Structure 1
Amino acid sequence: MNADLASLLLALGIFAVGFISIGPNILAIIGTSMERGRKSGVELALGVGIGSGIWASLTVAGLTALIAAYAHAITLLKILGALYLIWLAYKAFRSAATPNGKVAARSAKGNKLLLQGLTIQLTNPKAALHWIAIVGVGLGPDAPLWVGLSLVISCTLMSVLGHLVYAITFSTQPVVEFYRQSRRWIEAGLGVFFSFAAYKLATYRS
């Protein structure tokens, strides 16, 4: 397989699996869908998804220029990305050890939920680290333009659709109950995946 395509697929895999790991943004979507209904959850999810697409565009554009000017910058990106993935692994394992009763999903308040979702995502400093990890995997110093464009377009679509799936599915009680019963096993599996991804990122193209 072409090295650029392999890097792109690995980056998309890390991004996709990240949707299974429940963070503050997804908890807000879940809580809003459960308490205020599907329509409100979808509106908030659209804002979060669009915000993620903006992060993708800004990060890929900025880091592509940095890598083009300083080829050795990819090493720093690998280190930062690997450290972030290790932190995600730690968080997933810690969540797996947390009883279900201590994991709370809070509903968003007020109106203009799309704007709230957009603001939540754009002001989240963890999003920058998340994208550094993804771009560190997906873009090498000689990556062609199509790789960066594919990364932005694919991740934006996946973000919008992924957050919408949470809004729609968590407005139904059976899904909520299934997740509550399976959450700790899911988080443990994510801890293993993120540990493996950190290793792959730290050693990729070395």
Structure 2
Amino acid sequence: MARRTVGFYGPRRLNLGSRMPIDFVPSAATLLAFTGASFLLAITPGPDMGLMLARTLAGGRRAGFATVAGCSVGVVIHALLAGLGLSALLAASTTAFTAAKIVGAIYLLWLAWQSLRHGSSFHVTPDDGKSKNAFAVFLTGLGINLTNPKVVLFFVTFLPQFVEPTDPHAAGKMVFLGVWFLLVGVPVASVIVLTAERFTASMRRSKRMMRAFDLGFAGVMGGFALRLLLTQGR
């Protein structure tokens, strides 16, 4: 038995006879678009990348991977809070949800403008050189990720545009996409940790590469903002 559902990219069929609950899984087209966007964001230099590199260069790969683990747990927590919080807002008021998306679009446009105006936020702050326990490094990565307001705003603005406001499974899909974002980002972060010295030297040496990242980041953020604005009222 199957029924038709309407997602962001059009109608699709769900097999109701399956024992696996797949209502929280986005359509293949949505997942493909989200994967591409997540990959672009994962390779774009930023504060988290700078922290991973600094810890790796100071304490070795073990410290680097501990930082990745801490940031990853923070991402999962943000994804859960964003999914549940936005779904609650949607249930309370569609108008409020639409207003939140408009504010999100403005925020994304601001990020794009900041990237073009001030350049990349890639900075590797020198560590004090002291040996640190891996768990302490993990907690540092987790704490920095959880207390970063930009991460909170990012999830509040990034996830909703891949889910229809009228979708009864919006919360599950946003949580799923948050975890998927992590699955895309962790392999990228792992490669960066494994090649920390060469990666850092290359990024510092090539101004063209840094500018290319800036332009790419601005383009992605601007595209997301326009998408949010154009989908209002659907």
Above 0.5 in TM-score?
yes
Name the CA shift for 1:25/1:153 in 2 (closer, same or farther; >3 Å).
Answer: closer
Question: Of 182, 194, 203, which residue of structure 2 is paired with 1:156?
Answer: 182
2:144 counterpart residue number? 120
C-alpha distance in structure 2 between counterparts of 1:152 and 1:192, whole Å:
21
2:219 counterpart residue number? 192
Cα distance per residue 1:92-137 (max 9 Å; x no partner):
21344x7xxx963025564311111001101111111101111331
Name the CA shift for 1:121/1:107 in 2 (closer, same or farther; >3 Å).
Answer: farther
Q: Secondary structure at the match of 1:140?
A: coil
Equivalent pair of 2:68/2:186 in contact (CA under 8 Å): yes
Q: Percent identity?
A: 28
C-alpha distance in structure 1 between counterparts of 2:71 and 2:155, whole Å:
15
Equivalent pair of 1:46/1:114 in contact (CA under 8 Å): yes
Equivalent pair of 1:95/1:184 in contact (CA under 8 Å): no
Asked if 1:168 corresponds to 2:194, the answer is: yes
C-alpha distance in structure 1 between counterparts of 2:155 and 2:69, whole Å:
19
Cα distance per residue 1:1-38 (max 9 Å; x no partner):
43763555545544432223322222111122223221
TM-score by length of 2: 0.74
Q: Which has the higher contact order (CA 8 A, sep 6+)?
A: 1
Q: Secondary structure at the match of 2:150?
A: helix
Name the CA shift for 1:33/1:152 in 2 (closer, same or farther; >3 Å).
Answer: same
Asked if 1:105 corresponds to 2:124, the answer is: yes
2:14 counterpart residue number? none
Asked if 1:54 corresponds to 2:82, the answer is: no
Q: CA RMSD in A?
A: 2.6
1:132 counterpart residue number? 156
C-alpha distance in structure 1 between counterparts of 2:232 and 2:116, whole Å:
28
TM-score by length of 1: 0.83
Size of the alignment, in residue pairs?
A: 200
Equivalent pair of 1:21/1:92 in contact (CA under 8 Å): no
Gaps of 5+ in 2: 1-8, 12-25
C-alpha distance in structure 2 between counterparts of 1:134 and 1:43, whole Å:
26
Q: Higher strand share goes to which structure?
A: 2
- Structure 1 runs (4+) deviating above 6 angstroms are none
1:2 counterpart residue number? 10
2:88 counterpart residue number? 65
Q: Secondary structure at the match of 2:191?
A: helix
What is the deviation of 1:54? 0.7
Asked if 1:142 corresponds to 2:166, the answer is: yes
Equivalent pair of 1:44/1:117 in contact (CA under 8 Å): yes
What is the deviation of 1:69? 2.0
Equivalent pair of 1:50/1:160 in contact (CA under 8 Å): no
C-alpha distance in structure 2 between counterparts of 1:24 and 1:165, whole Å:
17
2:56 counterpart residue number? 33
Gaps of 5+ in 1: none
Cα distance per residue 1:140-198 (max 9 Å; x no partner):
3222425234213312323433433332232x42x333333111222122222222221
C-alpha distance in structure 2 between counterparts of 1:165 and 1:84, whole Å:
30
Cα distance per residue 1:63-106 (max 9 Å; x no partner):
1121122122231122122122112212321344x7xxx96302
Which moved further from structure 2: 131-140 or 9-18?
9-18
Asked if 1:94 corresponds to 2:121, the answer is: no
Equivalent pair of 1:38/1:168 in contact (CA under 8 Å): yes
Q: Higher helix share goes to which structure?
A: 1
